[in-house]
Chains A and B, each alone.
Chain A
């Protein structure tokens, strides 16, 4: 039997089915939390925004509009909350930096599958590589990684043109490969 969709679970919760929320939370808690930790690079801030996001969903009566999926909607709420936090505390929003991908893009000379096998598996190095990405590239990559969103959904969520999202994702992946590449023993 197919498991119910996110939208169906949300609708059931809005009708008073408390168990539907637990199923919805179990599906998305990990991805949303990791997205916020990686994007904010602060566990405490991530936890605060994570909590605000879910409480807002609990107390709101709104639902995903149009063709937006629940996942896109959830990550959009979280992203908006994080931006609100930065704005409230006078922190410059790094996601709004204009960024010229062409200037930061470098030839990808480590694209072979055999080299992917030698990527670092060290957690600290993975985190460090992510933090080395420009903010807008990191955001797109994290939405793809933890939100499991497709490029058009990311474009809708961030309000960026589709081609811009594609190029940000491509440059982010090229840079990560380069940063994580380990020397293959001869």
Chain B
């Protein structure tokens, strides 16, 4: 048995299909062209992505100037923060105390420095950087005064009186040659002094 409803539906579809096959009619080509041209002309402008908008902003002169200013300021701040503390400040005890106070939290965990004078510590330099070889000329320049300060000071030359006393002592000990050499050396240091006369007077005393 065939289902009457199913037969009716298929007949309806056949009728629709019959009409589709035998119906003609197209919009005029001029109408197509007009509508498509309007659609192209009035199509919304594509919304640029965030990255494209950023690039476009960078290409505008006004923003270029702003970015350049910001970059310049940042560079200057960076340079100022990284420049070493002047040597004179480090050399004076007051400045060393100040520096030590400021850096106390940072160096608290570090072992006590072996050098007599601490290397200049820049405020933003990490602790590990101090232990390494100087990475920049600025840093190496900053360390040179400290190296000089660590050298022992040369021994002070004996005064004229002390030199004469030494010569007398050597003569009394029978070391005339050494005493004469000392005398010559002393005469070079004090050419205007009458050393033999002063030596004689000292011996009498």
Binding site for B on A (CB under 8 A): 13-18, 21-22, 25, 29-30, 33-34, 37, 47, 50-51, 54-55, 58-59, 111-113, 116, 119, 121-123, 126, 144-145, 169-170, 173, 176-177
Pair B35/A51 contact, Cβ less than 8 Å: yes
Partner of A111, one of B8, B19, B34, B35: B8
Binding site for A on B (CB under 8 A): 7-8, 10-12, 14-16, 18-28, 31-32, 34-36, 38-40, 42-47
Residues of A within 8 A of B21 (CB): 121
Partner of B23, one of A59, A123, A177: A123
Residues of A within 8 A of B11 (CB): 111-113, 116, 173, 177
A144 to B19, CA, bound (A): 11
Residues of B within 8 A of A170 (CB): 12
A32 to B14, CA, bound (A): 21
A14 to B39, CA, bound (A): 11
Closest B residue to A43 using CB positions: B25
Pair A33/B25 contact, Cβ less than 8 Å: yes
Residues of B within 8 A of A16 (CB): 43-47
Pair B28/A47 contact, Cβ less than 8 Å: yes
In the complex, the number of residue pairs spanning A and B with C-beta atoms less than 8 Å apart equals 94
Residues of A within 8 A of B20 (CB): 145
Closest B residue to A18 using CB positions: B43
Between B15, B26, B32, the greatest number of chain A beta carbons within 10 A of the residue's beta carbon is seen for B15
Distance (Å) between the CB of B25 and the closest chain A CB?
5
Known: A121-B18, A177-B15. 20 other contacts (CB 8 A): A13-B44, A15-B44, A16-B43, A16-B45, A18-B40, A21-B43, A25-B35, A25-B36, A25-B39, A29-B26, A30-B27, A47-B28, A50-B27, A50-B31, A58-B39, A111-B7, A121-B22, A122-B22, A123-B23, A169-B12
Pair A15/B31 contact, Cβ less than 8 Å: no
Closest A residue to B28 using CB positions: A47
Partner of B31, one of A37, A51, A119, A122: A51
Partner of A51, one of B15, B18, B25, B34: B34
Pair A55/B32 contact, Cβ less than 8 Å: no
Given contacts A18-B39, A29-B27, A33-B27, contact A176 B15 (CB under 8 A): yes
A13 to B44, CA, bound (A): 8
Pair B46/A15 contact, Cβ less than 8 Å: yes
Residues of A within 8 A of B36 (CB): 21-22, 25
Pair A34/B14 contact, Cβ less than 8 Å: no
Residues of A within 8 A of B46 (CB): 15-17
A172 to B99, CA, bound (A): 101
Distance (Å) between the CB of A99 and the closest chain B CB?
20
Distance (Å) between the CB of A129 and the closest chain B CB?
9
A33 to B23, CA, bound (A): 12
Pair A58/B38 contact, Cβ less than 8 Å: yes
* Interchain Cβ contacts under 8 Å between A and B, 26 examples: A13-B43, A14-B44, A15-B44, A15-B46, A15-B47, A16-B45, A18-B43, A25-B36, A29-B26, A33-B25, A34-B23, A37-B25, A47-B28, A47-B31, A50-B27, A51-B31, A55-B35, A58-B39, A121-B18, A121-B21, A121-B22, A123-B23, A126-B22, A145-B16, A169-B12, A173-B12
